[in-house]
Amino acid sequence: MPSPLADPVKLPCGLVLPNRLSKAAMAEMIAKTNKPNQTLSDAYDQWSQGGWGSILTGNVQVDVNHLGSPFDPALHAEYKGEENLVAQWKHYADACQKHGTPAIVQICHPGRQSFRVAGHRGIWANTIAPSAVPINLGSGLLERFIAALAWTAPREMTRAEVERVISQFVDTARLMADAGFSGVELHGAHGYLIDQFLSGKTNLRTDEYGGTPEKRARFVLEILSQTRKVVPTTFCIGIKLNSADHSSDTFEETMTQIKLLVEAGIDFMEISGGTYEDPKMMGYPTKTETESTTAPVKSERTAAREAFFLEFAKEVRKRHPGLVLMLTGGFRSRAGAESAIRDGACDLVGIGRPAAIDPKFPLLLLDESVEDEKAALQLNKVPPPFYARWLPRNLIGAGAESTYYSGQIQRLAKGLATVAPAL
């Protein structure tokens, strides 16, 4: 029986993805001058050969003055159709799509989460945000010290600044279209600027961009509507949301905002958070668990997050059955990916870390001659660095994982063998 993962998916804009497996966005940490370069193209050339249905790039920032990491590619100035700039990005797009896989660029603004050392604005300049809500790592002295060291205090954006950033998103999308990419994904997750506008915790505005769920969504809805006017009709526009950024208290507010995005004509929505690592997420035990009585037990907190992730995804599917939905988070096996599709939880499966270790992972998952038990790539957690004991716990895991896998992407670019995390 053919795998449902091999089915093509047609987006509302008309773009056809040849299968349901998407290489998810990951930080590459390669663009040393904040411009696409040959090393970045070489990494994506590896993925272009991997049999993916779509390739999502790592963050492309819409303003070089505000970066998520020091080595993100970014728009350096207002885009006016410069041929040399288009050629620079076209080289990157061609590498991504060399073998026919559509490539979608994740475009982003970090807002208050732009590190002091990330961006051309200077280490003392304020970050910008919908409201002047500082990042809170905790109430302890160490947590407050690290937060002050890493980030400057955010400044509430003026109306003119809101309009300028909207234009920067639109300019970046137009440049990506002119360069030949197949689409963009608006990064509305992980606490970045779009997410900051959507959330009532970080958006305390009382003007037309805040105060209600609908007004908090206006920022991203204007980006979407203005971008539609300047890109080809077949150019896709998706959005990434993270269920972990929300809670049961704001569930209906979030659903209201998703409804507005669907009505505005979003081509796909990626939901990240929790894990669909294997069929047990769908209520089915794995082969290992049926043979062992020592399977690891998740913490109550992890189980609660995963339960909310599933509730979030399934409720979006229930309310918007026509929305093309991508789930990303913990997929490691054919069985897990197929379970998510057959359960109706999603249309597309986003795969991140396994793609950094094996850029041709889809070829394994789609090979019908390979047994289900072998169509998988299980990965250990990245061990924390020796100095982790002195850092706030919520910074350790994500930082170690991101750094490790960006290192593997750099190895891919150099043609070196990748290394999965050791025990």
CATH code for the domain in which residue 238 is found: 3.20.20.70
Is position 41 within any domain? yes
Q: How many domains does the chain have?
A: 1
DSSP state of 333: B
Is position 55 within any domain? yes
Token digits for 28?
């590459």
Comparison of pLDDT for 326 and 308, the residue scoring more? 326
Q: Could you tell me the CA-to-CA distances from 91 to 179, 205, 231 in Å, in that order?
A: 8, 41, 19
Is position 422 within any domain? no
The answer on pLDDT for 281 being more than 60 is no
Quote the radius of gyration of the chain (alpha carbons, Å).
21
DSSP state of 123: T
| DSSP symbols for 342-385 | HTTS-SEEEE-HHHHH-TTHHHHHT-TTS-GGGSB---PPPPPP
Is position 307 within any domain? no
Least confident stretch, 108-117, 123-132, 302-311: 302-311
pLDDT tens, 130-182?
A: 999 999 888 888 888 888 999 999 999 999 999 999 999 999 999 999 999 99
Q: Give the whole-angstrom CA distance, residue 99 versus residue 56.
A: 15
Q: How many residues does the chain have?
A: 423
Q: State the residue for tokens 């041709």.
A: 360
Give Cβ neighbours of residue 308 (< 8 Å, ≥ 6 apart): 243, 244, 247, 248, 273, 274
Note the pLDDT of residue 279: 40
The range of the structural domain enclosing residue 96 comes to 4-277+322-413
Number of Cβ within a 10 Å radius of residue 363: 15
Q: Give the whole-angstrom CA distance, residue 327 versus residue 325.
A: 7
Is position 97 within any domain? yes
pLDDT tens, 334-383?
A: 999 999 999 888 999 999 999 999 999 999 999 999 999 999 998 988 87
pLDDT tens, 50-84?
A: 999 999 999 999 999 999 999 999 999 999 999 99
Average of per-residue pLDDT values in the chain: 90
Note the pLDDT of residue 307: 65
How many CA atoms within 13 Å lie on the side-chain side of 409?
27
Note the pLDDT of residue 298: 59
